[in-house]
Chain A
Amino acid sequence: MSYEEVIFYFVAAVTVLGALGVVLTRNVVHSALFLILALLAVAGVFILLSAEFLAIVQILIYGGAVTILILFVMMLTRVRDMPQALDGPQRPFAALAAGAFLVLSVLAALSSDWPGETREITVVPFREMGEALFRDWAVPFEVASLVLLVALIGAIVLARGEEGE
């Protein structure tokens, strides 16, 4: 086995086991910690796909921001008091839907004739990434910053509480 295979299978195993841990563990705080593990492993897959910038973004935003936000909300809403049955009565339907999706997409992935490695691919340079983002995709980029601003204000207004009124 080459290095690439060893690293891929290791990172893929960590991703899938982390994701299964998120679903199967009974404690929601452990579930969030497993989520951090799975998302960091996805950053490893990004590095393997020579997308270093996105791996860094993934670690910063998911490993740093989103999961910490989730942990904070768990703390503030005391979700430990939840009933023991974490999964609702819709569980078999959910399992059926997820299983059907998995089978369909794996069959589609295996039966299609994908292109192999068509040429030598180097690491995506940050410079080209920036040029693409600010030249070809400038308008969507500005809209995305507007979305972030609106979400920021909306989250503050929603979570502020009554005392400000």
Chain B
Amino acid sequence: MAIELEHYLILGALLFSIGLYMALAKRNFVGVLMGIEMMFNAVNLTFIAFSRFPRFADMTDAERLSGHVFVIFVITVAAAEAAVALALAMLVYRNRETIDVDRMDLLKW
């Protein structure tokens, strides 16, 4: 059995689930961020898999490349998000001496 689209989709789903668990369960702010990065990667993988196995045989190359271009934009936004989030982590650490997300509860009544 050759490697089909399903294989890549299941790999992407596995990676996304692990990232989702990590982003929800970790108490460490940086751990949450690592989970989010893993979810970004899972989505990128799925985008490229769909681009590699196009739905219609008569798709032009430009249409097929949309998936790749989207991945570039996702990576760009992910890098920007990582930079800002890590700066925020340092700011929170400087003000409250912790980056435990369970203890960042100033807005909780």
Size range of the interface on B?
Answer: 35 or more
In chain B, residues 1-29, which have Cβ atoms closer than 8 Å to a Cβ of chain A?
Answer: 1-11, 13-22, 24-28
Give min CB distance, B62 to chain A, whole Å. Answer: 6
Give min CB distance, A108 to chain B, whole Å. Answer: 8
Q: Are A137 and B2 in contact (CB under 8 A)?
A: no
Interface string of B60-96 (1 = CB under 8 A from A): 0110011011011101111111111011111101100
Q: Mostly helix, strand, loop or mixed at chain B's interface? A: helix
Q: Are B71 and A144 in contact (CB under 8 A)?
A: no
Give Cα A128–Cα B7 distance, bound, in whole angstroms: 27
Q: Which residues of A contact B53 (CB under 8 A)?
A: 114-118
Size range of the interface on A?
Answer: 35 or more
Give min CB distance, B48 to chain A, whole Å. Answer: 5
Which among B2, B65, B101 has the highest number of chain A CB atoms within 10 Å?
A: B65
Q: What are 27 A-B contacts defined by CB distance under 8 Å?
A: A2-B2, A4-B2, A5-B1, A22-B18, A22-B22, A51-B52, A54-B72, A62-B37, A66-B78, A74-B30, A77-B99, A79-B30, A79-B99, A85-B27, A93-B24, A101-B13, A101-B16, A102-B13, A115-B53, A115-B56, A121-B52, A133-B72, A144-B73, A147-B76, A151-B84, A154-B87, A156-B87
Using a CB–CB cutoff of 8 Å, the interface residues on chain B facing chain A are: 1-11, 13-22, 24-28, 30-31, 33-34, 37-38, 41, 44-45, 48-49, 51-57, 61-62, 65-66, 68-69, 71-73, 75-84, 86-91, 93-94, 99-102
Using a CB–CB cutoff of 8 Å, the interface residues on chain A facing chain B are: 2, 4-5, 8, 12, 15-16, 19-20, 22-23, 28, 31-32, 35, 38-39, 42, 45-46, 48-51, 53-54, 57-58, 61-62, 65-66, 69-70, 72-74, 76-77, 79, 82-83, 85-91, 93-95, 97-99, 101-102, 105-106, 109-110, 114-119, 121, 124, 128-129, 132-133, 136-137, 140, 144, 147-148, 150-152, 154-156, 158-159, 161
